[in-house]
């Protein structure tokens, strides 16, 4: 037998009782019980996500001043390679602990390819600069 659906304005408790007032006859304490159990386990409430790897302004500025021709020279190939190398080093450590993080693995492979293309450009443009950069970053053995 098919039961008729209750009027949309009525509150339907899990036990099936209906009420015409705004106050429910029985309360559904799932949310409060869930928050209590989260608090007991030490889980933070609310939506919070871990921040992705981001260099601080100071770290980025030290890399730019070290490898760039001026403190604002962020577009130089050497600076870009150094910044990408920092991200690659971080992701390598991340993937050692999180072996099944395939999304980050793909990002790492894309970064390695980008760095490889920039280094190829640098070898054609300035071979001595390429050798100095490789030695400074410790990329080749």
pLDDT, one tens digit per residue, over 96-118 is 999 999 999 999 999 999 999 99
| Ordered DSSP codes for 28-81 | --HHHHHHHHHHHHTPPPS---PPPP---HHHHHHHHHHHSSSTT--SSHHHHH
User: Which tens digit of pLDDT belongs to each residue from 5-23?
Assistant: 666 565 555 565 555 555 5
pLDDT of 46: 55
User: Which tens digit of pLDDT belongs to each residue from 43-90?
Assistant: 555 555 555 667 899 999 999 999 999 999 999 999 999 999 999 999
pLDDT of 2: 75
- The pTM of the full predicted model, rounded to 2 decimals, is 0.63
**51/95: higher pLDDT:** 95
Q: Where in the chain is the domain with CATH 1.10.287.10?
A: 57-137
CATH of domain 57-137: 1.10.287.10
Beta bridge partners of 12: 18
Phi, psi torsion values for 35, nearest 5 degrees: -70, -35
């Amino acid at each position: 037998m098919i039961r008729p659906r209750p009027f949309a304005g009525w509150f339907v408790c899990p036990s099936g009782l209906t009420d015409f007032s705004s106050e429910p006859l029985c309360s559904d304490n799932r949310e409060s019980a869930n928050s209590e159990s989260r608090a007991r386990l030490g889980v933070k409430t609310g939506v919070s996500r871990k921040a992705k790897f981001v260099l601080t302004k100071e770290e980025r500025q030290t890399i730019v001043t070290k490898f760039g021709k001026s403190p604002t020279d962020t577009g130089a190939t050497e600076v870009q390679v150094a910044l990408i190398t920092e991200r690659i080093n971080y992701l390598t450590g991340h993937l050692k602990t999180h072996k099944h993080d395939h999304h980050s693995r793909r990002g790492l492979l894309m970064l390695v390819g980008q760095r490889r293309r920039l280094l190829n450009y640098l070898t054609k443009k300035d071979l001595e600069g390429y050798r100095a950069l490789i030695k400074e970053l410790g990329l080749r053995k």
